[in-house]
Amino acid sequence: MKKIMFLAAAAGLFATPALADPAAQISIAKNHAGMAAKATELKMVQMHHHHAVNCLVGPAGAGFDAAAGNPCGKAGTGAIPETTDAAQKAKLQGVADAAKAGLASTDLATAQKAAQATADAL
């Protein structure tokens, strides 16, 4: 009996469910887009900008890249899929689409500008 209780308690420590919090995910996305805009190396601009995209689209969304990292993993499954307001969802999708286009840039200044546009839109 003690062994079962211990296993149940241990499982509770490792099972941390994601909370559906679109506002937190938008805030995190905005922060990472801002970090991307201020980064001085293209690699860092792209990484933080991709964090913003990942927060917006979520793991099941188009453009999600697990290799880039997901700073919103514990806040939910993406601001776009979790947002219930249709106008807000459309706005966020537009921001994500523009951000994905900005990720394609290989020019530092252009990538920073795209990241700043993402931060400003959020």
> What is the torsional sign of CA 104, 96, 112, 42?
negative
Q: Domain ranges in the chain?
A: 19-121
pLDDT attached to residue 18? 58
pLDDT attached to residue 120? 98
Furthest CA-CA distance within the chain: 62
CA dist 47 and 100 (Å) reads 12
| Mean pLDDT split into 10-residue runs, the chain, 122 residues | 43 50 96 98 97 98 96 95 97 97 94 98 98
Rg (CA), the chain: 17
pLDDT attached to residue 20? 83
Write down the H helix ranges in 1-122: 2-14, 22-38, 42-57, 79-82, 86-103, 108-121
pLDDT attached to residue 51? 98
Q: What are phi and psi of 7, to 5 degrees?
A: -65, -40
Q: pTM of the entire structure?
A: 0.84
